[in-house]
Amino acid sequence: MEDLANQILVVADWLTLHVTVWLLVGTGLFLTITSRAVQLRHFPSMIRAVTGSRQGAKGGISSFQAFTISLAARVGVGNVFGVAAALLMGGPGAIFWMWIVALVGMATAFFEATLAQIFKVRAADGSFRGGPAYYISLGMKNKALATVFAIITVVTCAFVITSVQSNAIAGTVLSALGDAGDDPALWGLSQAQLIIAALLFVFSAMVIFGGIRTVARVTEWMAPIMATIYVIMVAIIVVMNIDQFGTVLAQIIRGAAAPAPIVGGLGGGIFAALINGTKRGLFSNEAGQGTAPNAAATATVSHPVTQGLIQSLGVFIDTIVVCTATAFVILIAGPEVWGAQGANPANLTSLAVAHELGAWTIMPMAILIFVLAYSSIIAAYVYSETNMTFVSNTKWAVWSVRVVSVFSVVLGALASLDLVWNTVDIAMAVMTVTNLVALLSLSKWGRGALRDYERQRREKVAEPVFSGVDNPLLPTDVPTDSWRG
């Protein structure tokens, strides 16, 4: 099994270096240029859109709730474990490439969320559904490719991502418990493992079996609060060591192009930094991957661009703010932490925080990571159900996704998942390539919607309203009734 996991890792690295990285950055640059840097020009508009996004849902899912669903998926173990893994294997320079992926990815996130809104459809319960499968089918008129994407997403989100997140929870809590978590109980599993699995089963089932609306209500308060607590904690450490800010920044910039590792105890070299920064950046902020648009489409808004701006801001918060703060904490801690025996992606961030603030933070960090990963689990369920309803909208199909999601959560807490951790990179690469091809093909729709939004703002319209029929700025009429007044 270990040999298979290593072979899959080789394939994943090859895909990242030779395919994913070029498509991600290339597509992001193309969309940045053709939109005249929408992520920079409209950054103030993003802030205004988020602050006013809790109203206007009209009984559906609000723009803010849709934003927090995607934020819950983004701000999870990718920000804690992903950054630690990128540093251990790619060195400080990996963070630079995470920044690049995020900055151009903000444009990508804007377009994929805007397209998800344009081509969304109304579900039987009155809420909206949408995402890459829908805009590939309705926009590109390629039902076969859309179905392939939907199936891959269902499997990846309902099984792989949920397993990875719960595996991260179990690893963190067991590490925090130390020897207390090693007491044997059943089937070679410790009592702590069984208790963690049972708790995850109960918490996940309570929300997932309630459906997407329940997830929206939970993530609306959980995701922002947990992300804020984590950012405050690491910000305190950065402020305490502000004199090292310039040194750490220099390590990151030099490491991005260094031919060999420049910091002892960490990985590095330009290729290692590029591969790991790109992979972990994508896993963290999801820009271009095609998952977040599934959440963006559920929002009830007056104009698709409004949600596009909000989702673009999510990438900034995830990578430029949260991931960078994590990286600074780890690098400030120094080689006595990240070079210590036993340091690994599962515990490195917690060890760095404890080094700076004291051992008392180990358990609070474990609880925080538990909640961050749990919020990602229920967000991944939303993505999987949205794509399952595209493939089959029957009641048994929807409930099968819910059952598999909960089962995967329990499995991840009990099993060693090196194979799954490596497989997730390949699954995400396939999803990303398919989604990026769709974004390039349909970019004219996103640009048309953006011009329509900007025209109304120039005319001093307080809340632009989108029309999908007889709109001269669109290639043709929107092929759904979601924007027909």
Q: Which domains does the chain have, with CATH numbers?
A: 1-459 (1.20.1740.10)
pLDDT at 71 over 80: no
Structure tokens at 382: 């939303």
Position 469, amino acid: V
Secondary structure (H, E, C), 398-418: HHHHHHHHHHHHHHHHHCCCH
Convert the pLDDT of each residue in 199-254 to its tens digit: 888 888 877 777 666 666 666 666 667 777 877 887 888 888 888 888 888 888 88
The number of helix segments (H) and strand segments (E) in the chain equals 23, 4
| Count of residues making up the chain | 485
Rounded mean pLDDT of the chain? 80
Is residue 260 very low, low, confident or very high in pLDDT (cuts 50, 70, 90)? low
Convert the pLDDT of each residue in 274-310 to its tens digit: 666 666 666 666 778 888 898 888 888 889 999 999 8
Is residue 58 very low, low, confident or very high in pLDDT (cuts 50, 70, 90)? low
Convert the pLDDT of each residue in 307-318 to its tens digit: 999 889 888 888
The pTM for the full model equals: 0.82
Dihedral of alpha carbons 31, 32, 35, 40, sign: positive
The predicted pLDDT at position 189 comes to 66
Distance CA 242, CA 308 (A): 35
Is residue 456 very low, low, confident or very high in pLDDT (cuts 50, 70, 90)? very high
Burial of 7 from C-beta contacts in 10 A (0-12 / 13-18 / 19+) = exposed
Other C-beta atoms lying within 10 Å of the C-beta of residue 127? 20
Distance CA 301, CA 308 (A): 11
Distance CA 52, CA 170 (A): 37
Is residue 75 very low, low, confident or very high in pLDDT (cuts 50, 70, 90)? low
Within its chain, how far is the Cα of 71 from the centroid? 7
Please tell me the least confidently modeled range out of 66-80, 168-182, 257-271, 424-438. Answer: 257-271
Name which residue leads in pLDDT, 389 or 257. 389
Name which residue leads in pLDDT, 264 or 440. 440
Please tell me the least confidently modeled range out of 191-195, 339-343, 376-380. Answer: 339-343
Strand 121-122, strand 189-190: pairing? unpaired
One-character DSSP codes across 178-237: GGGG--EEETTEEHHHHHHHHHHHHHHHHHHTT-HHHHHHHHHHHHHHHHHHHHHHHHHH
Convert the pLDDT of each residue in 154-175 to its tens digit: 888 888 888 878 887 777 777 7
The predicted pLDDT at position 417 comes to 60
